[in-house]
A and B are shown apart, each in its own frame.
Chain A
């Protein structure tokens, strides 16, 4: 083995440019595979963390009639906040939210919106609800950037809002856009108007009622409450998980292509070696190598290619990946258009496990692939190989 290692090393170093070309292709595969997986992990982490910060907290209680995919359920999905939550709400660890269907009339157009009543002093979400304390000529409201762009609204704009109260009576008033926020969570932005909860209670005649109750602590064990459905965080992020799973499948295709590229580089080297180096193989045998030892030598050479590729990959990959983790990858299109929680800039997350597993997979796969063409050596007639006659 020691001899094979020594000879393989000499062969690799001696082959010069051919070795380095293979090593660079392989190292590129390593780095890109790790980068892609890092992006997926970063996206996963970021999507969930943004959803937590802007939309779902540590989990929610939904009114039993509430269906997030059906706005017509909003008129029925509200009830008095259960007393057992009062203490948690007072401590700021639970935020009630009342949701009412409404219509906004920006620039003379009519746009359906969901009016969300929220406590201006909450700090569970990153929403700038403190701005709802602003005194203005109308109801202070905050909207997301997506809504602002869609409705051509700017900070300070006065716009008419119409809604229907608990008795089915339509009413309208003016709201003032006191702040426009930008999140990476489309569901927190698109067609949503946030106003003070107390104001919405008065507007809708639903005093003390809520549609959603968002709690902070996701680890606390929670009981079922009559009339309300407990939605733990993992249930609320299930859609993101599903999308990421689909995306991961798509990425896996790319991952496999890269792996195939790495395998092709090694396979190509090996197949070429069998034909280009047959005189050399014959010489090894003439000088006392068994065929098995020659196969071993070629396999060790390939394993060394992979290890060299790891080192070369580390040389430019570590600074590149470190920079990416810091600077992130900015998606060259509007991420909001995708309709899921996705930041414009994704910060890849690289774990030691990810790096080690990727390196191991590529090294093992390329070594195994290299063994296959090497087996042809075992079938070579040494006297023909010595003369380089095998076709």
Chain B
């Protein structure tokens, strides 16, 4: 195993039972991501990108092969260990934001810190810092239903980033946003990637997102079709 790799995947296969047969979502995937990457899994619907993201996020396990994330083998983690990995090291950004609707913006961003049992004063500072990164300090008392889609996704980014995770997994983060909001969100993520050296892994088929990626891993029918680095990458677009 490459010790510099933040994610290392070897011969990973994932299949799901479908009646009497089985559906193979991922087949013999081999990948390696290093710290600080801004990488995307690109492919059409059904190509396996979300399945791969879920395995990397320890929300699912491989059927065969190995997935090492932050030096932990996902397949051999207990439920408790997987939860600890997500709680301490991973941040998630979802297509439909997945904010807690009855909580305020502050409480939503504070949630991961509550799970880490960080004391109240420190929590408040960290939440306000995170909201400042995404430009939402004036919305601390608002609740998600009172926010626009773009604002909701910025809250989700703040929630994912507030604990300074090693790896952020973003599943179609701009799918529900218009172009202006998408660019704003992506610029925010690029900025955080550069400033905090957080690794970002996207699952997307949105050209707007693809335009910001430094590395593009194309998936097709559960296999890696292409893996390319962007030459002449300009930081903030």
Residues on A close to B: CB < 8 A? 3, 6-7, 10-11, 13-16, 279-280, 282-283, 285-291, 293, 382-383, 386
Q: Which listed segment binds A: B4-12, B52-60, B67-75, B213-221?
A: B52-60
Q: Which of B77-85, B125-133, B182-190, B223-231 contacts A (4 or more CB under 8 A)?
A: B77-85
Asked if B206 lies at the interface with its beta carbon under 8 angstroms from chain A, I say no
A383 to B102, CA, bound (A): 22
Chain B residues with CB below 8 A from A288, complex form: 83-84, 86-88, 112, 115
- In the complex, the chain A residue whose C-beta lies closest to that of B60 is A383
Please measure, in the bound complex, the distance between the C-alpha atom of A293 and the C-alpha atom of B117, giving whole angstroms.
14
Q: Mark B75-113, 1 if CB is under 8 A from A, else 0.
A: 000011001101110001010101111110001000110
Out of B54, B60, B100, B115, which one reaches A280, CB within 8 Å?
B100
Decide yes or no whether B236 CB sits under 8 A from chain A.
Answer: no
Interchain CB contact under 8 A, B103 and A287: no
Is A282 a contact of B98 with CB atoms below 8 Å? yes
B79 touches A291 (CB 8 A): yes
Is B147 engaged at the interface, CB distance under 8 Å to the other chain? no
Query: When chains A and B are docked, how far (Å) is the Cα of A7 from the Cα of B100?
Result: 11
The residue of chain A having its C-beta at the shortest distance from the C-beta of B50 within the complex is A383
CA of A58 to CA of B54, assembled, Å: 80
Residue of B80, B98, B102, B117 touching A283 (CB-CB under 8 A): B98
Expressed in whole angstroms, the Cα–Cα distance for A289 and B92 within the complex equals: 13
Q: How far is the CA of A6 from the CA of B115 in the complex (A)?
A: 11
* Residue in A15, A16, A279, A289 whose CB lies within 8 Å of B115: A289
What 4 new A-B contacts, CB under 8 Å, besides A279-B98, A285-B83, A286-B94?
A: A14-B101, A280-B101, A289-B115, A382-B59
Docked complex Cα distance between A68 and B59 (Å)? 79
Chain B 25-37: CB-based contact to A (< 8 A → 1; otherwise 0): 0000000000000
Would A287 and B115 be within 8 Å (CB), given that A14-B103, A383-B54 are in contact?
A: yes
Closest to A6 in B: B114
Q: Which residue of A lies closest to B171 (CB)?
A: A386
Q: Closest residue to B169 on the A side, CB-wise?
A: A286
- Do A7 and B98 have beta carbons less than 8 Å apart? no
CA distance A289 to B114 in the complex (A): 11
The verdict on B143 contacting chain A, using a C-beta distance below 8 Å, is yes
* Contact indicator B115/A286 (Cβ below 8 Å): no
Quick check: B92 and A285 within 8 Å, CB to CB?
no
Q: A286 vs B115: C-alpha distance in the bound complex, in angstroms?
A: 12
Distance in angstroms from B105 CB to nearest chain A CB is: 12
- From known contacts A285-B59, A286-B57, A386-B59, infer whether A10 and B86 are also in contact, taking CB-CB under 8 Å: no
Q: Which residues of A contact B101 (CB under 8 A)?
A: 14, 280
Bound together, the chains give a CA A209 to CA B107 distance in angstroms of: 87
Question: B86 and A383: CB pair below 8 A?
Answer: no
Contact A286 B103 (CB under 8 A): no
Which 8 A-B pairs rank lowest in CB-CB distance, beginning with the nearest? A288-B87, A14-B102, A283-B98, A290-B83, A288-B86, A286-B92, A383-B54, A382-B59
Docked complex Cα distance between A386 and B171 (Å): 11
Among B79, B84, B114, B143, the residue within 8 A (CB) of A14 is B143
A7 and B115 alpha carbons, distance in the complex (Å): 10
CB distance from B146 to the nearest CB of A (A): 13
CA distance A279 to B92 in the complex (A): 14
Instruction: Give 7 A-B contacts (CB < 8 Å), ordered by A residue.
Output: A3-B117, A13-B102, A286-B59, A287-B115, A288-B86, A290-B80, A386-B98
- Measured CB to CB, the nearest residue on chain A to B89 is A288
Whether B100 lies near A283 (C-beta < 8 A) is yes
Q: Which residues of A contact B83 (CB under 8 A)?
A: 285, 288-290, 293
Q: What residues on B are CB-neighbors of A285 within 8 Å?
A: 59, 83, 86
Q: How far is the CA of A285 from the CA of B112 in the complex (A)?
A: 11
Q: In the complex the two chains form, is A386's CB within 8 Å of B94's CB?
A: yes
In the complex the two chains form, is B111's CB within 8 Å of A287's CB?
yes
Closest to A4 in B: B114
Min distance, Cβ B175 to any Cβ of chain A, angstroms: 12
Q: Are B86 and A287 in contact (CB under 8 A)?
A: yes
Q: Which residues of A contact B98 (CB under 8 A)?
A: 279-280, 282-283, 286, 386
A-chain residues with CB within 8 Å of residue B143 when the two chains form the complex: 14
CA distance A293 to B87 in the complex (A): 13
B215 shortest CB reach to chain A, Å: 24
Q: Are B100 and A15 in contact (CB under 8 A)?
A: no
Q: Which residues of B contact A283 (CB under 8 A)?
A: 94, 98-100
In the bound assembly, the distance between CA atoms of A290 and B85 in angstroms comes to 11
CA distance A10 to B107 in the complex (A): 9
Centre residue among A13, A283, A289 by max chain B CB count within 10 A:
A283
Contact A287 B59 (CB under 8 A): no
